[in-house]
């Protein structure tokens, strides 16, 4: 026998919304001006065999990086991967490690998305991953180190966000007589 829900009962429907884990073009850091400022002004942390250079940008900072406005397809998370030729001489080894690092990032980036949604003043989080080891490491090791590196970076970014918010100037007090601003 089939039971029909009453008018005030909710329907027993379960909808599962799965987020696709694809790495889109908007998540690849590819603009020269952004890459240059990332390595010049970015913060750095490392968990061997990966080094992470990262930078949090507000909307104003992002707009000032371009002459003709912000180009389309600049996502809130942007990353690049560098495998130095000095460390891995053969191209096949560099490609292999780049693929492993990209896969570890792709599957482990959800904490970054959560952090960005909790900090609406941050328009973009740019990251550059640099591989430091002299030999190829297995995916399991890279994945574990990627998780540690992301957690370490988020801890540091949260501390900087707290400091930057506390350094913002207080809003000036308005005079009740007129709309002029009184100095503090």
Domains along the chain? 25-150 (3.30.230.10)
Distances (CA, A) of 154 to 29, 113, 121: 19, 11, 15
Please tell me the distance from the alpha carbon of residue 112 to that of residue 181, in angstroms, as a whole number.
Answer: 39
User: Which tens digits make up the pLDDT trace of 36-56?
Assistant: 999 999 999 999 999 999 999
pLDDT band with cut points at 50, 70 and 90 for residue 121: confident
Dist. CA 4–CA 9, nearest whole Å: 10
Confidence of residue 176 (pLDDT cuts 50, 70, 90): very low
Number of residues that make up the chain:
184
pTM of the model: 0.76
Residue 81 and residue 131 in contact, taking contact as beta carbons nearer than 8 Å: yes
Q: Assign 170 a pLDDT band (cuts: 50, 70, 90).
A: very low
Give percent of the chain above pLDDT 90.
Answer: 54
Q: What residue ranges in the chain does DSSP mark as E strands?
A: 43-47, 50-57, 77-82, 124-131
| pLDDT number for residue 171 | 46
Residue 109: both structure tokens together: 């980036």
> What is the rounded distance in angstroms from the CA atom of residue 166 to the CA atom of residue 163?
5
Residue 43 sits at φ, ψ, to 5 deg, of -90, 155
At residue 115's C-alpha, the angle toward residues 109 and 119, to 5°, is 145
Alpha carbon 1 to chain centroid, angstroms: 52
């Amino acid at each position: 026998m089939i039971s029909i829900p009453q008018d005030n009962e909710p329907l027993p429907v379960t909808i599962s919304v799965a987020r696709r884990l694809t790495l889109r073009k908007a998540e690849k850091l590819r603009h020269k001006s952004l890459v240059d400022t990332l390595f010049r002004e970015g913060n750095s942390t490392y968990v061997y065999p990966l080094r992470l250079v990262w930078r949090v940008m507000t909307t104003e900072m992002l707009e000032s990086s371009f002459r003709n406005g912000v180009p389309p397809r600049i996502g809130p998370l942007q990353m690049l991967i560098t495998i130095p030729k000095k460390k891995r001489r053969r191209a096949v080894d560099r490609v292999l490690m780049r693929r492993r690092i990209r896969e570890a990032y792709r599957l482990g980036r959800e904490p970054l998305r959560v952090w960005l949604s909790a900090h609406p003043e941050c328009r973009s989080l740019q990251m550059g991953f640099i591989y430091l080891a002299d030999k190829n490491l297995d995916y399991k090791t890279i994945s574990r180190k990627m998780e540690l590196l992301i957690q370490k970076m988020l801890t540091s970014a949260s501390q900087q966000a707290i400091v930057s918010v506390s350094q913002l100037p207080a809003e000036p007090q308005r005079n009740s007589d007129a709309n002029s601003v009184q100095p503090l």
